[in-house]
Structures are given as structure tokens and as C-alpha cells.
């Protein structure tokens, strides 16, 4: 069982509460024995209990914990000969390990975008294993031959069967409806839809639209009827992005080839874009390619998308599309780097922080619990060395995230280092 939570006072840091770019120079934050924030503000205006445990964060910047709305706890970029050796037990162990690593890196909440069973979120929520607050989507829904169909030209299907991840490949309105219900029965908080082809799948292209509007609409209907959080779409190609939006999808993941008509639909429906720069740069990493972790067809497709995605993201931001952080991070990746990418490609340092805190909490239906440093919310927070508004590049360096707290418990404390 986890140790009891003790009230603490965090002192000395610059405080960025997630709501305003105006930092409090000498901030203080108090937590209670339930892991909630009691007060956050300037030290001169805050009553600090004399007997409270004090943690000195002088020289650091205190922010809300990072919320990553697109991760894959169960997956890893690895050569095919390693993939086929993974059993269901191996996948569960990897998911637990990856969740712990993401939490230590300052990611206190995630939405898993496929292949982590609902038992993983329960394991983290129970405190039996350290990990982020987790929402899951179980197995993504895909048409036959789509991005979620693990078939390869040899006839081999590269998937690890798990009893609590129901099948997700379906065709036609009735079959798709049943596939959605199976994910909901398995404990999905969200339903993920493969609305286009993708980079890592062998049998399609990112331009290809997948599922009809009617098929996606049925998935949206089932999610609403069940009262789960919503639906989200892997959507890289232009036509598939618009199909998903017309069907009522909750968020667009990647959005690489979005055009102005797609942007119009996002603005009209207030649907956020989740850019996932992290996976794009990982797939183009020369070391990963040399080690066989990225297959040749993925390198070719990513080369086609790489600069287009950056250009289209910048245009979407200029037009006012709401952005939420999601990284598409697998095991062995570093999610916080996404803030540097978002900032670099048009969002700017403060809006990148909001994409990873307030906007992400809003999308996940957690705005009353996390995303800002305010009294009554969960004490999910990080402290970084330096000023992320003046130096957004610090997000690329794991050593700059010095302190992590989740629900009032200290997860990582690297101040001595």
C-alpha cells in the first residue's frame, strides 16, 4: 500500500499556474493530506503553517503536471524479430514500466491511444504501481486493411493477442457498432478510430481515407450512448480528417495533411488538434532507422509527411485551431520534448504549456481536477530549472525537470543532482 500523504509547503519557486503567462516571482504552494492544493500564490499573501513540511524549490519554476493525450504505454519501436517475441505478459510489464518512466519525466496524466488494457489504468489508480492518471481506449477500431489492421504482405499478423483487448477490425455499420461496444465493455474511456492510413502500417498510405462517415458516426453514437469521454481519430490524410470531423469526432490526432476546409470544420465544431511531433521526429531518427526499429516503408512515408505536417500545423495555429498536447510516445521516448516542438512550430512557449495542461485537462474532462495550480485541485505538479517561457528548449532535456509530484506524493526529487 502507498504511504500516507503528508501536507507540504513548496517554497521559493517562480509559479506559473497554467492560466496566465505572468509568473509569481516568489511563489508558495500548500498541499493537504488528501493530495489536494490548499493554496497557491505569492508568499507574502499566503499563510504558511509553521509545522508543515517544507520543500525548497528556490531557483526553479513550478508548473502543473504535464498531460499527454496520446501515448502508447504498451508499444515500442523495435525490430520485427523483437516484436514477435512479446507475450501478453511482456506487454503488461512494459506498460507498467513505461507509465512509471513517463510519470518520473513529469507526465502526471495520460490518455492511452491504443493497446493498453483497462487493467493498466486500474493498476496505476490503486497505487500498486507508479504511473500517470490514465484513460484508455483499449484496441483502436480499423477497417480491414486499415491502419489498425496488423496484417503484413507475408500474411503474418503482427499483434499480441490479449483477452481483455477485443478485436477492433470491422467493416460496415453493424460490425463497427459491435466493435465499439466491445471496447466499451472492456473498459474503454474513449474509442479511437483509424480514419486514415498511417506511417507504420504496411498495407496503406497516410492519404487513404478509412471508414465511411456513416461508420464513424456509429462509433460516435455508441460512445455518447455509453457516457464515456468521447472519440478520437488517427487522421493524417485530408479526406479522412474531414470525414471524422463531419461524423462528430472529439479530437483529431496528427492532422498532417489538413487543409483550410478541414480547419474550418475544426473551428466550427471547436475540435482540438493533437499534433504528435514527438513520434515524427522519432521515426526520422537515424539511430532508430539504423537499428531496424523503423521499417523502410515508414521512413518513406514519414519523409513525405515531415515538412508538410510542420507547415500545416503552423497554418492551423495561425487560423486559431485549439491545440492539445499529445506525443504518440512509445516506451523509450521522452514526452516533454513535445512542448519544445509545439512552441517552435508556431504555438509559442506559453500556449504550448497550456496545450499540455489546461487545454489537455479540458479535453479529458478533468478540468475540475488537474491542469492548473489552484486550490481544490489535485497536487499534480512539476518544477523545472530555468524559465520555460524564455527558454522553451529546456523541455528537450530530461535533467531540467527536477521535481515531480502527483496527488500530493513526491514522485521524483532531483534537486541534489
Cβ–Cβ under 8 Å, residues 329 and 102: yes
* Residue for grid cell 496545450: 355
Looking at the fold, whether 376 and 350 belong to one and the same domain comes out as no
Query: Phi and psi dihedrals of 412, rounded to 5?
Result: -145, 135
Task: Over range 167-193, report the average pLDDT.
Answer: 98
Q: What local confidence, expressed as pLDDT, does residue 414 receive?
A: 97
Q: With bands split at pLDDT 50, 70 and 90, how would you rate the model's confidence at 151? A: confident
Q: Domain range for residue 294?
A: 66-363
Q: What share of the chain is helix, strand, coil (3-state, %, to 5)?
A: 35, 20, 45
Active site residue 264: no
Write the CATH number for 275.
3.20.20.140
* Residue for grid cell 493497446: 115
Q: Is residue 237 part of a domain?
A: yes
- Cα distance between the two ends of the chain: 29
Task: Over range 171-197, report the average pLDDT.
Answer: 98
- Choosing from 322, 339, 363, the residue where a domain stops is 363
Q: With bands split at pLDDT 50, 70 and 90, how would you rate the model's confidence at 276? A: very high
Task: Over range 364-372, report the average pLDDT.
Answer: 98
Looking at the fold, whether 325 and 343 belong to one and the same domain comes out as yes
Q: What local confidence, expressed as pLDDT, does residue 9 receive?
A: 96
Looking at the fold, whether 270 and 344 belong to one and the same domain comes out as yes
Task: Over range 331-357, report the average pLDDT.
Answer: 98
Q: What local confidence, expressed as pLDDT, does residue 283 receive?
A: 97
Question: Is the pLDDT reported for residue 353 higher than 70?
Answer: yes
How many separate domains does the chain show? 2
pLDDT tens-digit readout, 102-116: 999 999 999 999 999
Q: With bands split at pLDDT 50, 70 and 90, how would you rate the model's confidence at 249? A: very high
pLDDT tens-digit readout, 394-415: 999 999 999 999 999 999 999 9
Distance CA 227, CA 99 (A): 26
Q: Is residue 263 part of a domain?
A: yes
Cβ–Cβ under 8 Å, residues 370 and 116: no
pLDDT tens-digit readout, 195-236: 999 999 988 999 999 999 999 999 999 999 999 999 999 999
β-bridge pairing 273-274 and 27-31: unpaired
Question: Is the pLDDT reported for residue 45 higher than 70?
Answer: no
Write the CATH number for 395.
2.30.40.10
Active site residue 192: yes
What's the whole-number average pLDDT of the chain?
A: 96
Higher pLDDT residue, 417 or 74?
74
Task: Over range 84-91, report the average pLDDT.
Answer: 92
pTM of the complete model beyond 0.85 = yes
Q: With bands split at pLDDT 50, 70 and 90, how would you rate the model's confidence at 80? A: confident
Q: Is residue 306 part of a domain?
A: yes
Looking at the fold, whether 349 and 386 belong to one and the same domain comes out as no
Q: With bands split at pLDDT 50, 70 and 90, how would you rate the model's confidence at 34? A: very high
Task: Over range 294-304, report the average pLDDT.
Answer: 95
Cell of 282: 522519432
Q: Is residue 2 part of a domain?
A: no
Task: Over range 311-315, report the average pLDDT.
Answer: 98
Residues 68-87 as b/e (b if ≥16 CB within 10 A, e otherwise) read bbbbbbbbbbbeeeeeeebe
Question: Is the pLDDT reported for residue 4 higher than 90?
Answer: no
Distance CA 120, CA 129 (A): 9
Cβ–Cβ under 8 Å, residues 145 and 170: no
Q: Is residue 197 part of a domain?
A: yes
Selected catalytic residue, list 192, 242, 301, 377:
192
Classify residue 337 as exposed, middle or buried by CB count within 10 Å of its CB (0-12, 13-18, 19+).
buried
Selected catalytic residue, list 68, 328, 377, 380:
328
Amino acid at each position: 500500500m502507498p504511504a500516507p500523504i503528508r501536507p507540504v509547503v513548496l517554497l521559493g519557486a517562480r509559479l506559473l499556474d497554467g492560466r496566465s503567462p505572468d509568473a509569481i516571482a516568489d511563489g508558495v504552494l500548500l498541499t493537504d493530506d488528501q493530495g489536494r492544493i490548499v493554496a497557491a500564490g505569492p508568499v507574502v499573501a499566503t499563510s504558511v503553517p509553521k509545522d508543515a513540511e517544507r520543500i525548497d524549490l528556490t531557483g526553479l519554476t513550478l508548473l502543473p503536471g504535464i498531460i499527454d493525450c496520446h501515448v502508447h504505454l504498451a508499444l515500442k519501436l523495435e525490430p520485427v524479430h523483437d516484436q514477435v517475441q512479446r507475450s501478453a505478459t511482456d506487454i503488461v510489464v512494459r506498460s507498467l514500466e513505461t507509465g512509471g518512466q513517463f510519470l518520473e519525466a513529469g507526465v502526471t496524466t495520460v490518455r492511452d491511444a491504443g493497446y493498453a488494457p483497462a487493467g493498466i489504468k486500474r493498476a496505476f489508480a490503486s497505487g500498486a504501481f507508479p504511473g500517470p492518471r490514465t484513460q484508455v481506449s483499449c484496441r483502436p477500431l480499423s477497417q480491414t486493411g486499415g491502419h489498425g489492421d496488423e496484417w503484413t504482405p507475408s500474411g503474418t499478423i503482427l499483434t499480441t493477442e490479449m483477452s481483455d483487448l477485443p478485436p477492433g477490425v470491422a467493416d460496415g455499420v453493424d460490425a463497427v457498432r459491435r466493435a465499439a461496444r466491445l471496447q466499451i465493455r472492456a473498459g474503454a474511456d474513449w474509442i479511437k478510430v483509424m480514419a486514415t492510413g498511417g506511417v507504420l502500417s504496411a498495407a496503406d498510405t497516410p492519404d487513404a481515407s478509412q471508414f465511411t462517415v456513416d461508420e464513424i458516426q456509429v462509433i460516435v453514437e455508441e460512445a455518447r450512448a455509453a457516457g464515456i469521454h468521447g472519440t478520437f481519430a488517427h487522421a493524417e490524410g485530408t479526406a479522412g480528417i474531414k470525414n471524422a470531423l463531419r461524423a462528430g469526432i472529439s479530437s483529431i490526432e496528427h492532422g498532417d495533411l489538413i487543409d483550410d476546409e478541414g480547419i474550418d470544420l475544426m473551428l466550427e465544431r471547436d475540435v482540438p488538434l493533437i499534433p504528435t511531433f514527438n513520434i515524427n521526429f522519432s521515426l526520422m531518427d537515424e539511430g532508430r532507422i539504423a537499428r531496424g526499429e523503423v521499417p523502410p516503408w515508414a521512413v518513406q512515408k514519414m519523409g513525405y509527411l515531415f515538412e508538410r505536417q510542420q507547415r500545416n500545423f503552423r497554418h492551423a495555429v495561425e487560423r486559431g485551431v485549439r491545440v492539445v498536447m499529445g506525443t504518440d510516445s512509445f516506451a523509450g521516448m521522452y514526452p516533454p520534448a513535445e512542448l519544445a516542438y509545439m512552441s517552435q512550430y508556431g504555438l509559442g512557449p506559453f500556449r504550448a504549456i497550456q496545450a499540455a495542461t489546461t487545454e489537455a485537462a479540458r479535453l479529458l474532462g478533468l478540468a475540475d481536477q488537474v491542469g492548473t495550480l489552484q486550490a481544490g485541485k489535485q497536487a499534480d505538479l512539476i518544477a523545472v530549472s530555468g524559465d520555460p517561457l524564455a527558454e522553451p528548449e529546456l523541455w528537450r532535456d530530461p535533467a531540467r525537470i527536477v521535481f515531480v509530484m502527483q496527488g500530493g506524493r513526491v514522485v521524483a526529487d532531483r534537486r541534489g543532482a
